[in-house]
Homo-oligomer: A and B are copies of this chain.
Amino acid sequence: MVELSGDGSGEGLSPYLWFTLYELLLLGAVSGAVGISTTRLAGLLGCSQQSASRHLKLLEEMGLVSRRLGAGGSLVGITGAGLDVLSEVYFAMKGWIEGSGEGTLVFEGIVFSGMSQGSYYVSQPFYRGQLREKLGFDPFLGTLNLRMGEGYLEQRRVLEGWPAIRIEGFRSEDRAFGGGRCYPLLVNDEVEGALVVADRTAYDLSVMEVIAPVNLRERLGLEDGDTVRLTLQMPDIVSPEADG
């Protein structure tokens, strides 16, 4: 069984059926129904006509495809539920495949309006000085808040294993400011910035905060709800033994 995490919409869908659904996707059965005979589908799947027929029947019963049988073939379209089943696999793979270059991680998140405390912290001179010195840019006074998808936690765990740029905390007259760490990155493959992770953060793990030398919302024309891609490259660790 293909265990689809969470809602169980695809509960009990066998791998065989998933691949038949996948083949229908490649035939373009999402942009409206596509005319396909069981014989041709069987050819594409590398199985018998009978199996293709059975698969379609089962997928229809599960509500993952809709069919209109007619002479000379049937019209097959993937339903919303069917697309969900395929999307789930696609998006789960996304971060890993896109970032599969050596030592690269790719995250995608949705822009949202945070509590706007980012600017308060970034503008603290002690933080700001450290950021400028250690990141090589003077941060724009505000952070871009991203809400991350579900399947990113394993990736996040990999990131935790990477060397980070340490930002020290400090104590003002009134209160204590905690430390944190930064990971330099590229926003939408275009603008340099850094992921900021406070040691003690107000947000949960499903949120990422990004700083950059520019106002990212303006520079990239971002609105709440837009998707943003973060590309992180693991820094080369120059071991002391290694010969240059």
Q: Which residues of A contact B (CB under 8 A)?
A: 1-3, 14-16, 18-19, 22, 25-28, 30-31, 44-47, 83, 86-87, 89-94, 96-97, 100, 103, 105, 151, 154-155, 157-158, 188-190, 220-221, 226
Contact = CB atoms under 8 A, between A and B. Distances in A.
Copies in the complex: 2
B87 A22 contact: no
A94 to B, nearest CB: 7
Ranked nearest first, the 4 interchain pairs of A and B with the lowest CB-CB distance are A15-B15, A3-B46, A90-B97, A28-B154
Contacts of A47: 1
A155 B28 contact: yes
A22 B151 CA distance: 13
Nearest to A105: B31
Contacts of A30: 96, 100
A22 B15 CA distance: 11
The interface residues of chain A, by DSSP majority, are classed as helix
Contacts of A1: 46-47
A26 B221 contact: no
Contacts of A155: 28
Nearest to A25: B96
Contact of A93 (B22, B44, B46, B226): B22
Contacts of A100: 30, 83, 87
Nearest to A2: B19
A189 B189 CA distance: 13
A191 to B, nearest CB: 10
Contact of A26 (B83, B96, B189): B96
